[in-house]
Amino acid sequence: MISNRTQVTEMIRAAKVAKGLTWKAVADAVGNSKEWTTAACLGQMAMTKEQAATVGELFGLSDEAVAWLQIVPYKGGESDTQHKDPLIYRLYEAVHVYGCAMKELIHEEFGDGIMSAIDFDLDIQRQEDPKGDRVKILMTGKFLPYKVY
Amino acid sequence: MISNRTQVTEMIRAAKVAKGLTWKAVADAVGNSKEWTTAACLGQMAMTKEQAATVGELFGLSDEAVAWLQIVPYKGGESDTQHKDPLIYRLYEAVHVYGCAMKELIHEEFGDGIMSAIDFDLDIQRQEDPKGDRVKILMTGKFLPYKVY
Amino acid sequence: MISNRTQVTEMIRAAKVAKGLTWKAVADAVGNSKEWTTAACLGQMAMTKEQAATVGELFGLSDEAVAWLQIVPYKGGESDTQHKDPLIYRLYEAVHVYGCAMKELIHEEFGDGIMSAIDFDLDIQRQEDPKGDRVKILMTGKFLPYKVY
Amino acid sequence: MISNRTQVTEMIRAAKVAKGLTWKAVADAVGNSKEWTTAACLGQMAMTKEQAATVGELFGLSDEAVAWLQIVPYKGGESDTQHKDPLIYRLYEAVHVYGCAMKELIHEEFGDGIMSAIDFDLDIQRQEDPKGDRVKILMTGKFLPYKVY
Amino acid sequence: MISNRTQVTEMIRAAKVAKGLTWKAVADAVGNSKEWTTAACLGQMAMTKEQAATVGELFGLSDEAVAWLQIVPYKGGESDTQHKDPLIYRLYEAVHVYGCAMKELIHEEFGDGIMSAIDFDLDIQRQEDPKGDRVKILMTGKFLPYKVY
Amino acid sequence: MISNRTQVTEMIRAAKVAKGLTWKAVADAVGNSKEWTTAACLGQMAMTKEQAATVGELFGLSDEAVAWLQIVPYKGGESDTQHKDPLIYRLYEAVHVYGCAMKELIHEEFGDGIMSAIDFDLDIQRQEDPKGDRVKILMTGKFLPYKVY
Amino acid sequence: MISNRTQVTEMIRAAKVAKGLTWKAVADAVGNSKEWTTAACLGQMAMTKEQAATVGELFGLSDEAVAWLQIVPYKGGESDTQHKDPLIYRLYEAVHVYGCAMKELIHEEFGDGIMSAIDFDLDIQRQEDPKGDRVKILMTGKFLPYKVY
Amino acid sequence: MISNRTQVTEMIRAAKVAKGLTWKAVADAVGNSKEWTTAACLGQMAMTKEQAATVGELFGLSDEAVAWLQIVPYKGGESDTQHKDPLIYRLYEAVHVYGCAMKELIHEEFGDGIMSAIDFDLDIQRQEDPKGDRVKILMTGKFLPYKVY
Amino acid sequence: MISNRTQVTEMIRAAKVAKGLTWKAVADAVGNSKEWTTAACLGQMAMTKEQAATVGELFGLSDEAVAWLQIVPYKGGESDTQHKDPLIYRLYEAVHVYGCAMKELIHEEFGDGIMSAIDFDLDIQRQEDPKGDRVKILMTGKFLPYKVY
Amino acid sequence: MISNRTQVTEMIRAAKVAKGLTWKAVADAVGNSKEWTTAACLGQMAMTKEQAATVGELFGLSDEAVAWLQIVPYKGGESDTQHKDPLIYRLYEAVHVYGCAMKELIHEEFGDGIMSAIDFDLDIQRQEDPKGDRVKILMTGKFLPYKVY
């Protein structure tokens, strides 16, 4: 009996190590970006029937688990326990240090509103650099102005 | 008597509204990017003597305040009280939702290590889009591998 | 010297009691809904020059304060200290008790995504009822589907 | 041995996915609103014997589980771990941003007291809109004045 | 300039010590119970014009302060910083130890619902006892059944 | 192997639902008040050998579980996870709103000291009322003066 | 205007350093133990008129401050911000490490109940020791058995 | 497979109830004080081979569990979940109320430094008293002066 | 099925006690420092295939567990529950007391930037001392200057 | 009126910027290490009369402030608000990642006990390195074994 999406994420994590799969290979099979696909496998996005079937086959999941992949998950919960991981913490730290500057500059350019985290995409690349390669993270999100009524 | 950098940030915020300055104009005068300059004015970066003098003149700061601009600040503290601001929260939410995926993909590409938040830069632009303009946030940080010894 | 929007909110609160104004009268003068206008006066929305001038006149604010009314505020912070107020707590409790049900039903109707809290409006009315009048709170927010890429 | 209501909620969630049921179908069978019925299935409301029997049959629950559906549950606990889910968070954010305004306006209309979260109902609908359909959430709760004695 | 009710509470506390008043004397002058009157003076209840005038005269408050006494306050906030006071903590401890028992017994007697904390009164008395006098706290609150719809 | 009292509470809760017992019936069998007996069954009080035997028989507990009923429990822990239950929260809210008033009035009557939460009893009754029955909660605790030395 | 006891504690702390007084000298003048007297001066105990007069003279306090010394204070709040002080932390650590053992042993000797922290006294002495002098802390508190009813 | 010391503590707690042992009897068999022995059994101290063998025999532990008794444990963790137990809380409350006074008096007698919580012993006794027996807790810890360098 | 690295750490802890291994012996077999090797076994570092094979053989781990040793772990999470252990707490306390001084002195020597915790090594030694041996902890980390752009 | 040591730290911070002093120069004048002296100026250590006089002269402090420098301070509090500063956070992160390894290795070498944070010293140096200079932090603290009694 599977009663929440987290159990499926654990099955996927276990199968990934046991089978030696990479997220890129999973993304190629699914036909979406590696960023969306990885987040989806880790329980942050809902999959279509076809996407779920592909993922289920790759990881050897049961039909019940494949059904759960198509359910809209409770998102955002997992990273809390992982807040102190140094890689993830650096992302939070960038917001601690630059959060106000980002707010000020986005308002200066767009006025009052926010960058959507829903109509949003993410792209992570290696940027070669003779002084040491860099991680390049590109986020774009639709600007949503506050409604005045 | 000025006993911490936050007091200078308050003077800058007050003067910015009173004088109607924009961060872009400040950055142009200082000669650095708008992202670094805004963060520096908001107390997240230390300025050189010349940068501080320029900022002091623009905002009409006292010599004591200008001296404080050159002191390495205690960083990261201000955004805590602003954690619930919807614009800033969306940045945290992107990490809540995508943090694990970012970790997995960076390790898949680079191995064990982190993206530096120190040897790091940030670029915020408007990306025109017929379905509604988008906020584009580009971060790059040097990849730092864990030392094995 | 005014260095943050909270100081202006305090001036407005003080003047409102001293002058015996109602929020409805303020909203009528501004020409927007009472919900938006009250939130704006309490530091949650940015005003246009005209809106700010009207509000400034009603509450007897200085030019500096009127300038601050036009700055995009850091939102969402004030209600934290007021989390235990019984009226406000009931709103949180409604989410504690019904939050999962709301999530499930919105996904059942719309698929994966959220109700925007930005392209959002709020309407509060008295609903007469022989068993005791009721507070009627109507929220509408644009449905935003998660982007798949 | 079932020792708390949460275990029954997990059974219901598992059966719902396995059987592909919708909350609306459950509500129709029970004969109450979809909002109340979903909340009740998720462990926030107590059911009558008849309601519990219907739900038990739909989800294939044991007699012991059906007995637990009739017990007054410990409410409000589940949504805490789901506080960071973007859909649920937007509901909290609406209170962060508008909580004080709601308080001020309800007092302006009704005097001192609260909107009940017990003598309370909830209605969620799709509001069609050419600029994108909207989620419409309507809450009504009895106004309860503070007792003076 | 008085911008919140807490400032008036501080004036009342200062004047009470300076003038050597008792809460009972204040309650007698106001004409309400000592429990309601003390809570009202400490910023938890709104007063009528007459009540406020009486309190203002007893404590020597300004007109502005008297006006604030008639405003519905943000309630419940003050006791948080006083959570560790041994007398107040014992009240919380009684709930820690007996909270579940109270819930179970109220549901056994009344069914699903709550005891109102709004349509609520409180009475504190000395109960003489040869083994040592006892504090007697009597609370009554209207039972409110959950609405089924 | 039973290694803490919470496991026995779970057995009691499970058996209570399965057997359809009421707390009043349990209290009558034990021969103590319903308030003390319910708290004791829920792991907040230690029982004598006779009390434990009676409870064990009613709920069909093993000898090991009956032995645990006689052990002084770690008290107060269970209600924390249930802090957001609306019925229990109202009890905390009464302290948030009236805590300072209770402190002031008890000191005014008794001087410095506290109401004991140990030499303490609790009585919960239905108070009939034409405007809707009321929950009546009566607490008495010995006044304990602070020792001066 | 003095509106809380903490302000008087600050006056006492300032005067103690300025005048170079010791707590022992204060205690001798007051005629109580150094432990009670120090706690009282730091805002944890209420003083009689005579005790307050003596303390007021020693520290040069105003009549208003002397009146506040006789008011029952909100206790226990100050040490929270000082939780990380190494000397104070060691006291908490002793409870972290030995708390359960103390509970078990007190129950083994006395049965169910607590050691009072109200009918309680404290004695701190130097215990000479050739391997390094020791701090000796002696606490006694009345045992209070739980009431069964 | 035993993977942490807490599992052994649970075995000891279960066996203690099942066998009806007292901590004093365990301490006598081990040959150390009841305070040290109880803390050690509850996972706060490491035992020698002989101490572990004695404890293992008394509680009927496996060899693996006996091996774990000799491992230095992660200390201090257990009491956190038990912070609200009234007996343990009173110990914390004594520090809330007297912590600053203890700090001031120890510094007045010894200068800057702390009382060790490592080179520390604890003694708990019944102090007979006609007004009600008292719990007597005696702690001594070596004074450690801060190093100046 | 192993679904996270923590499960492997538990296997290693269990095997270490059962087999009586020392961390030094493990480090010698692996061929790295005892500090890195211990952290790696405890789930803080990723191992190469050879390192994992050696560790797997020493502790008798399954192939699946050995595969997990090569996965980059979620780091930093385990020590949170162990925050109150006295040995670990002293490390945090050193930062509480000296953190600002360390910051000031590093900036005075190096300018704005940080000491890397990634390009970092740690060395722990016994330093003999006639007044009692000392623990010597040596940390070195690359200085990383903040990027100005 | 100076009522706590934090006020003196603020005076020192203000004077240090205004006068352009370095911590090394202060330490040389005082005659102690730069680590101890900086911590002492920042309110973490008590000074002798001579040390305080020297510091007072360098920073131009009043006699009252100089008297406060000789009082044992409440330590450890300031760094809390600065927990998110990237330089200070890396020190905490080193404990998050290596804390358990440090504990295990110190126990393996020394047995049960701790490294003192009181009989403790700290040395911070630049370590030149062709790949980028390193920060070298050396801590030594006396090993304190747990007392068995």
CATH number of the CATH domain containing A129: 3.30.1160.10
Would the pLDDT of I77 be above 80? no
Mean pLDDT of H36-58: 98
User: Domain range spanning residue I9?
Assistant: 5-78
Residue I79 predicted with pLDDT over 80: no
Please answer yes or no on whether D117 and C93 come within 8 Å at the CB atom.
yes
Q: Is C139 left (phi over 0), alpha (psi -120 to 50) or beta?
A: beta
State the pairing for strand pair D113-127/C134-145: unpaired
Return the pLDDT at J82. 82
Q: Please tell me whether residues E17 and E34 are part of one structural domain.
A: yes
| CA of F67 vs chain D CAs: smallest distance (Å) | 20
**Which residues in chain A have Cβ-Cβ distances shorter than 8 Å to D65?**
none
F33–chain G nearest CA distance, Å: 6
- Give the catalytic positions of I in this structure: 90, 93, 116
On the CB side of A119, CA atoms within 13 Å amount to 18
pLDDT of residue F77: 73
Residues of D whose CB is below 8 A from A116:
none
pLDDT at C77 over 80: no
- The residue from A13, A90, A104, A134 that is catalytic is A90
Q: Hey, what amino acid is at G7? A: Q
Query: Residue I4 half-sphere exposure, CB side, CA atoms within 13 Å?
Result: 16
**DSSP secondary structure, G106-131, as one string:** HHHHH-SEEEEEEEEEEEEEEE--TT
Between CA D52 and CA I133 the distance in angstroms is 69
The list of chain B residues with pLDDT below 50 reads none
Around Cβ A60, how many Cβ atoms within 10 Å?
12
- Separation between Cα atoms, residue B15 and residue G127, nearest integer Å: 61
Q: How many domains does chain J have?
A: 2
Q: What are the residues facing H134 on neighbouring strands?
A: G142, H127
Q: Please tell me the predicted confidence (pLDDT) of residue C64.
A: 97
Q: What is the DSSP letter of A149?
A: -
Structure-token pair, residue F15? 């058996």
Q: What are phi and psi of E45, to 5 degrees?
A: -140, 150
Which backbone phi and psi does F34 adopt, to 5 degrees? -65, -30
Is F55 within 8 Å of F41 (Cβ atoms)? yes
Domain end call among H78, H100, H128: H78
Q: What is the per-residue burial (b if ≥16 Cβ within 10 Å, else e) of D117-126?
A: bbbbebebee
Q: Closest residue of I to G95, CA-based?
A: I84
Q: Single out the residue of B108, I49, I2, I8 nearest to residue A15, CA to CA.
A: I2
Contact H93 E89 (CB under 8 A): yes
For the segment D83-110, the average pLDDT, to the nearest whole number, is 95
The answer to whether residues E105 and E64 belong to one domain is: no
H73 lies in the same domain as H14: yes
Predicted confidence (pLDDT) at residue C101 exceeds the cutoff of 70: yes
Q: Which chains touch C (3 or more CB pairs under 8 A)?
A: A, B, D, E, F
Catalytic residue IDs of C: 90, 93, 116
**Residue in I32, I72, I146 nearest the CB of B148:** I32
Whole-number pLDDT of residue E77: 73
I135: left (phi over 0), alpha (psi -120 to 50) or beta: beta
Strands B134-145, C134-145: pairing is unpaired
Using CB atoms, pick whichever of F39, F96, F106 lies closest to residue E97: F39
**pLDDT tens string I9-34:** 999 999 999 999 999 999 999 999 99
Q: What is the pLDDT of residues J11-23, one digit of tens each?
A: 999 999 999 999 9
For residue A112, what are the CA distances in angstroms to A120, A143, B94, C53, J140? 18, 10, 20, 18, 53
Q: What's the CA gap between C44 and C38, in Å, rounded?
A: 9
Residues E78-132: tens digit of each pLDDT: 666 688 999 999 999 999 999 999 999 999 999 999 999 999 999 999 999 999 9
Q: How does the average pLDDT of chain B come out, rounded? A: 96
| Sequential DSSP letters for B2-58 | --SHHHHHHHHHHHHHHHT--HHHHHHHHTS-HHHHHHHHTTSS---HHHHHHHHHH
The subunits that touch chain D, with at least 3 C-beta pairs less than 8 Å apart, are: A, B, C, E, F
Domain boundary, last residue among A20, A46, A78: A78
Partner residue opposite B86 with nearest CB, options C4, C64, C75: C75
* I18 shares its domain with I68: yes
> What are the C-alpha distances in Å from A104 to residues B8, B87, B124, E126, H133?
17, 10, 11, 59, 66
Radius of gyration of chain D measured on its C-alpha atoms: 18
Q: Which residues of F touch D (CB under 8 A)?
A: 10-11, 13-14, 17-18, 20, 81-82, 84-86, 89
Q: Is G104 a catalytic residue?
A: no
Residue G40 belongs to domain with CATH number: 1.10.260.40
Let me know whether E43 and E99 are in one domain: no
The rounded Cα A45 to chain-centroid distance in angstroms is 8
Are both G68 and G41 inside the same structural domain?
yes
At C78 the pLDDT is 65
What average pLDDT is seen over chain D? 96
Q: Mean pLDDT over residues C48-75, rounded?
A: 97
pLDDT, one tens digit per residue, over D107-123 is: 999 999 999 999 999 99
pLDDT digits (tens, 9 = 90+) for F20-75: 999 999 999 999 999 999 999 999 999 999 999 999 999 999 999 999 999 999 99
CA distance, residue H86 to nearest chain E CA (Å):
8
Active site (annotated) includes residue H116: yes
Cα of J47 to nearest chain B Cα, Å: 21
Residues of D with CB under 8 A from a CB of A: 10-11, 13-14, 17-18, 20, 81-82, 84-86, 89
> Which three-class secondary structure state does DSSP give residue I69?
helix
> Who among J92, J100, J115 is closest to I95 (CB)?
J92
Share of chain I above pLDDT 70, in %: 97
Tens place of pLDDT per residue across chain A (149 aa):
899 999 999 999 999 999 999 999 999 999 999 999 999 999 999 999 999 999 999 999 999 999 999 999 999 976 666 889 999 999 999 999 999 999 999 999 999 999 999 999 999 999 999 999 999 999 999 999 999 99
Q: Do chains G and J touch (3 or more CB pairs under 8 A)?
A: yes
Domain end (from C58, C78, C98)? C78
Q: How far apart are CA A20 and CA A31, in angstroms?
A: 20
Task: Give H134→chain G minimum CA distance, Å.
Answer: 4
| Three-point CA angle A92, A94, A100, nearest 5° | 105
Residues of chain I with a CB closer than 8 angstroms to some CB in chain B: 32-33, 35-36, 45-46, 72, 74, 103, 107, 111-114, 116, 118-121, 144-149
Q: Report how many Cβ contacts below 8 Å link chain G to chain J.
A: 34
Q: Of E13, E64, E116, E134, which one is the catalytic site residue?
A: E116
J80 pLDDT more than 90? no
Measure the N-to-C terminal CA separation of chain E; round to a whole number of Å. Answer: 48
Higher pLDDT, F1 or A70: A70
For G48-112, the DSSP string reads: -HHHHHHHHHHHT--HHHHHHHTSPP--S-GGGGGTT-HHHHHHHHHHHHHHHHHHHHHHHHH-S
Q: A59 and A109 share a domain?
A: no
User: What is the CB-side half-sphere exposure of residue I55 using CA atoms within 13 A?
Assistant: 34
- Nearest-10 crossing angle of helices A23-30, A34-41: 100
Mean pLDDT value of segment F89-109? 96
Predicted confidence band at C141 (pLDDT cuts at 50, 70, 90)? very high
Confidence at F83, pLDDT banded by 50, 70, 90? confident
CB-based burial of residue I63 (10 Å sphere; 0-12 exposed, 13-18 middle, 19+ buried)? exposed
Catalytic residue among J10, J93, J104, J134: J93
Q: Do B146 and I33 touch (CB under 8 A)?
A: no
The chains found to touch E (3+ Cβ pairs under 8 angstroms) are C, D, F, G, H
Angle at J81 between CA I119 and CA H149, to 5 degrees: 65
What does the DSSP assignment read for E13-65? Answer: HHHHHHHT--HHHHHHHHTS-HHHHHHHHTTSSPPPHHHHHHHHHHHT--HHH
Q: Are residues J96 and J136 in the same domain?
A: yes
Buried b (16+ CB within 10 A) or exposed e, E9-48: bebbbbbbbbeebebeebbeebebbbbbbbbbbbbbbbbe
Report the pLDDT value the prediction gives residue I80, as an integer from 0 to 100: 63
Q: Which residue of D has its CA nearest to A81?
A: D81
| Contacts within 8 Å (CB) and 24+ apart, J20-26 | J20/B67, J21/J58, J21/J59, J22/I108, J23/I101, J23/I104, J23/I105, J23/I108, J24/I108, J25/J58, J26/J55, J26/J58
Residues of B in contact with A139 (CB under 8 A): 94, 136-139
Do residues A87 and A74 both lie within one domain? no
> How many angstroms separate the CA atoms of J93 and J83, rounded?
11
Q: What pLDDT score was predicted for residue D120?
A: 98
Is residue C9 domain-shared with residue C70, that is, in the same domain? yes
Predicted confidence band of residue D82 (pLDDT cuts 50, 70, 90): confident
| ipTM confidence | 0.95
Instruction: Return the structure tokens found at B74.
Output: 């205690």
SS3 at position H2: coil
Catalogue the E-assigned strands of chain D: 113-127, 134-145
Whether residues B137 and B91 share a domain: the answer is yes
Q: Does the pLDDT value for residue C81 go beyond 70?
A: no
Are both J56 and J100 inside the same structural domain? no
Nearest CA to CA, how far is D39 from chain F (Å)? Answer: 14
**Residue D127: pLDDT over 90:** yes
Pairing between strand F134-145 and G113-127? Answer: unpaired
Residues in chain J: 149
Pick the closest to residue H8 from H134, F68, H47 (CA basis): H47
DSSP string, H74-125: --S-GGGGGTT-HHHHHHHHHHHHHHHHHHHHHHHHH-SEEEEEEEEEEEEE
Looking at the predicted structure, is the pLDDT value of residue D102 above 80? yes
What's the half-sphere exposure (Cβ side, CA atoms, 13 Å) at I85? 27
What CA–CA distances, in Å, run from I68 to A39, I1, I40, J47, J100?
21, 11, 12, 53, 20
Chunked into runs of 10 residues, chain G (149 residues) has average pLDDT values of 94 97 98 98 97 98 98 83 90 95 97 97 98 98 97
D-chain CB neighbours of E105 within 8 Å are none
